[in-house]
Amino acid sequence: MGRIVGQMLVCLYLSSGDVSLDDLVAELDLSKASASIASRQLESFGLIRRVWKKGDRRSYYRSAENIAQALQQGILSFVRDKVLGFGSEMRLALEMLEDARRSEGRHDEAEFFRQRIDRAVQLQSRLEKVLNSPLVRYLAAK
């Protein structure tokens, strides 16, 4: 997480009520664009949540009640998404490598890279199983 994300999280955590995005921008001397991006990142991790106030179109935020639990779950979700993305990238790389091997005839070099990518796919698959295991889910919820 970047500096702006950290500043916003601390500011919201230390605030007793809901804080508008405009107030965060003013308090932390940020651009509205960077504050908006940071708020979306924090929301995606479950570290803050958006609050609507009747009759007001502005976005308000508050920190999660249990920051430690939200951080654990948010990071686990982030890592899980990255691991899944890595697996699909490796499968695409294997397809591209096979196409290049057929068209260019560089069999030895292609075989070396194929073995490396196969190994990376195996590791990704194992990591995905670990991240989705009931024990990891249980520990992340504590």
- Mode of pairing for the β-strands spanning 19-20 and 48-51: unpaired
pLDDT in tens, 103-122: 776 677 778 888 888 888 88
Q: What is the DSSP letter of 119?
A: H
Q: What average pLDDT score do residues 20-30 get?
A: 95
Taking the model in full, what pTM does it have? 0.56
φ, ψ dihedrals at 49, nearest 5° = -135, 150
